[in-house]
Structure 1
Amino acid sequence: MMFRESVRIAFHALIANKMRSILTMLGIIIGVGAVIAMVSIGMGVRDNVQSSIASLGSNMLIVSPGSSNSGGVRGGAGSMITLKTEDADAIREHIKNIDYVSPTVSKSYQVVAGNQNWNTSVQGVTSEFMSIRNLTVGSGTFISEQDLNSRTRVAVIGATVAENLFGEMNPTGQNIRINNTPYKVIGVLDSKGQSSMGQDQDDIIIVPLTTAQERLLGINYIQSINIQVSSAEAIDQVQAQIENLLRQRHKIIGDKEDDFTVHNLTSLLEMMTETTGMITLLLGSIAAISLLVGGIGIMNIMMVSVTERTREIGIRKALGATYHNIMMQFLIESVVIGVIGGLIGILIGCFVAVLISKLGGLNTTITLAPIIISFSFSVGIGLFFGIYPARKAALLDPIEALRYE
């Protein structure tokens, strides 16, 4: 009964000083709202990075050529022409714990269909590329082994290419011209959207690897090898085995520099996740500073409240209120400020996060954890910073309090 009465008195005191109560809550509201908004931005960035890397394929390794070196002048990464289709075949044959292997080549071309044209990346791949990259065909079929063996002029196009070349028409069965050579569209890929780096994953044309090598590029080497490992636990072991195998095949001995590079996307994902986690923690910590400022504001206002209500405290003590009764009254007032401020802050933080996602073009992810943590902190701060003013009030001498003007 005493607790309910203390809560009623606390609300009455807050309502009696509306503007002061609102200004006191403002620090808590801003703090909680900022924590939720900032953490949601960080979580959104993390999810974007994870989905972008995952869209490339799960448990994936990519082998690319090293950089060329001519007269002491080094070329860019991948400028060497040391990888062959036979390297991909050897990896498939000799390395265990591998599901799929697909050598690839690529180059940008101006592609024409009727009176429409579009500049896009044309990739030469094998049939296993579809499984490695988690691609699905919405219309038609994908590249087959028969297409590879016969070097057929066929193409599978992405959703962006289909829209720009054919509009609403179904491209399957239609012809396009790549490098002034006709290719028949045998399939259209389902949309994968943009990557976290803003790259359009649907702006692509896929042709058989052998067709791209001999009919388009006129080369006998490959530019990369995509490998899907059976499990995440085997990735490091498989990577080491691939490196040893390629060093043997390319006759690289001793401390001689490799003419290839094996990229581990799982390690990249872990590194990026750790980095975005640190960014999220930093953003949340900066925003949490305003929660501390809000707590100091609560203590300041409660000190003023104790001074203003000195005679009231004296009367209550004279009527039999104990030390614990007075402590409870002022602690409840400070906790109520923290609770109300925290609830309003949650609503504002979620609203701002959604607004940033809708208008700012930046994906945000609202999760329960930062909401619970920030609200708990707001209540805890209200309690912590209310202890000193409440104790000061409870220790007032009733006679001195009654004499206070």
Structure 2
Amino acid sequence: MRSFLTMLGIIIGVAAVITLVSIVSGFSEEMLSSFESMGTNKISVNIIGRGSSRNVEPDEMHTLAKENPELIEYVTPTVSIQNATIKSGSTNITSSITGVNEYYDEIDSKNIETGRFLTYLDVEHRLKRCVIGTYISQELFGTKNGVGQTLKINGTQFTVAGVFEETAGSEDGSTDDIIVIPYTVAQKLSYNGKISSYTFTGADKDKIDITKKTIENFLYSKFEDTNAYLVISMAEAVDIINELMGMVSSILIGIAAISLLVGGIGIMNIMLVSVTERTREIGIRKALGATGWDILSQFVVEAITTSAVGGIIGIILGIFCAKVLANSLGLPSAISATSVLVAFSVSAGIGVAFGYLPAKKAAKMNPIDALRHD
């Protein structure tokens, strides 16, 4: 029991490190996968502020794209309507609406399962057409093929022109809860008809930085104020996520390391008690010819063994907890061999670091004094 209690701090610390690193890595993988599926050649532009002086017309952005065909492949305005009421017959649901142009399916790499995507005429003539995700189609019409059906968005009737291909792993509807309409219609439905967001795709992934700079130069020439806009590429977003996840991981590991430190102190205390209890044994061994090094190595090995066994139990517990949490959160289980090896090495290292002082004390004992000890 005493040995188990000695190992408890190590077990908890190692298990916490394995679990936290796995969950953070899994979350990071999920986020990065999501961004990469969107395309790392995408650039998002947000116009900040209100008033006509802070406005960019779609024609201006299209002109910019036409003037730089070697840099810009597609561009679409984006008008978002949050928490819109969607109705079909007696069925009501709430969803977000995205107003775009005919290039959105190319920009966002969306495939059409049935029907078609929005066309130039839909956008130009402000036709009430929409393309929906399979989740929306199933919820409203009881089928994944809702082409030709009608629905109302905040009271305005639309005809379903197409249904997006179902996204893998979207059983809960999270990625297929999508409705897109012409941005020209979305402007009329939104409280603020101003277009404050655009999405570009770069023609060359190797020139994304140049493309971003070109867009920024255009916006600066228009507003003469760098605070009037925000331009960010998906590649930058990926870098930011990696940096953020690294910081979070470091903080969590630091917290878990406190438990390892406590476990190490526990090992040192127990080893000191063990040295005191085994004073006569140490004296007998020395009297029979054991050197200080023999005694030192004996107690260090005992400390390492205790710590390493605690580390192994902690690794097993950590892997179990990581898999359970990953499954419950819907994240990939990202348990790396490196994190397991590091956790085991640290636990063994703690045995050396915190077992050395008691071992040194035992090695320096005078055999005569040790034999007199009761």
Interval of TM-score (by shorter of Structure 1 and Structure 2): 0.7 to 0.9
Corresponding residue of 2:335? 366
Q: Are 1:243 and 2:216 counterparts? A: yes
Tell me the alpha carbon deviations over residues 298-328 of structure 1, each in whole angstroms, 9 at most, x when there is no partner. 1211122122122222222333333333222
| Distance across 1 between alignment mates of 2:176 and 2:110 | 11
Q: After alignment, is 136-145 or 358-367 more displaced?
A: 358-367
Corresponding residue of 1:155? 130
CA contact (8 A) 2:216 2:231 kept: yes
Corresponding residue of 1:263? 232
Q: After alignment, is 371-380 or 126-135 more displaced?
A: 126-135
Q: After alignment, is 170-179 or 334-343 more displaced?
A: 170-179
CA contact (8 A) 1:65 1:80 kept: no
CA contact (8 A) 2:43 2:212 kept: yes
Corresponding residue of 2:368? 399
Q: Are 1:327 and 2:300 counterparts? A: no
Q: After alignment, is 87-96 or 36-45 more displaced?
A: 36-45
| Distance across 2 between alignment mates of 1:60 and 1:315 | 76
Q: Output the amino acid matched with 1:88.
A: M
Residue 58 of structure 1 aligns to a residue whose secondary structure is: coil
User: Which residue of the other structure, out of 28, 32, 56, is the alignment partner of 1:50?
Assistant: 32
| Distance across 2 between alignment mates of 1:107 and 1:276 | 30
| Distance across 2 between alignment mates of 1:116 and 1:153 | 20
Corresponding residue of 1:185? 161
| Distance across 2 between alignment mates of 1:90 and 1:239 | 16
User: What percent of counterpart residues are identical?
Assistant: 39
CA contact (8 A) 1:154 1:184 kept: yes
The offset of 1:397, in angstroms, is: 2.8
Q: RMSD over aligned Cα, in angstroms?
A: 3.4
Corresponding residue of 1:14? none
Q: TM-score, normalised by structure 1?
A: 0.78
The offset of 1:218, in angstroms, is: 12
CA contact (8 A) 1:193 1:202 kept: no
Q: Are 1:207 and 2:181 counterparts? A: yes
| Distance across 2 between alignment mates of 1:171 and 1:99 | 31
Tell me the alpha carbon deviations over residues 201-239 of structure 1, each in whole angstroms, 9 at most, x when there is no partner. 43221234456568x679997442210224555333222
CA contact (8 A) 1:58 1:132 kept: no
The offset of 1:47, in angstroms, is: 3.5
CA contact (8 A) 1:315 1:398 kept: yes
Q: Are 1:382 and 2:356 counterparts? A: no
Corresponding residue of 1:116? 91
Q: How many residues matched?
A: 370
Residue 78 of structure 2 aligns to a residue whose secondary structure is: strand
Tell me the alpha carbon deviations over residues 115-173 of structure 1, each in whole angstroms, 9 at most, x when there is no partner. 32333333332332123223233444333456556655432102332232123453234
Unmatched segments (≥5 aa) in structure 2? none
Residue 185 of structure 1 aligns to a residue whose secondary structure is: strand
Residue 76 of structure 2 aligns to a residue whose secondary structure is: strand
CA contact (8 A) 1:82 1:260 kept: no
| Distance across 1 between alignment mates of 2:144 and 2:20 | 44
| Distance across 2 between alignment mates of 1:159 and 1:80 | 40
The offset of 1:372, in angstroms, is: 1.9
CA contact (8 A) 1:80 1:259 kept: no
Q: TM-score, normalised by structure 2?
A: 0.84
Residues 350 and 302 (structure 1 numbering): CA distance in 2 closer, same or farther, change over 3 Å?
A: same
Corresponding residue of 2:112? 137
CA contact (8 A) 2:18 2:315 kept: yes
- Report matched runs for 1:17-166 at 5 Å: 19-54=1-36, 56-68=38-50, 82-95=55-68, 96-107=70-81, 109-145=84-120, 147-148=122-123, 152-166=127-141
The offset of 1:58, in angstroms, is: 2.0
| Distance across 2 between alignment mates of 1:220 and 1:42 | 40
Residues 256 and 333 (structure 1 numbering): CA distance in 2 closer, same or farther, change over 3 Å?
A: closer
Unmatched segments (≥5 aa) in structure 1? 1-18, 70-78
User: Which residue of the other structure, out of 231, 234, 246, is the alignment partner of 2:207?
Assistant: 234
CA contact (8 A) 1:176 1:185 kept: no
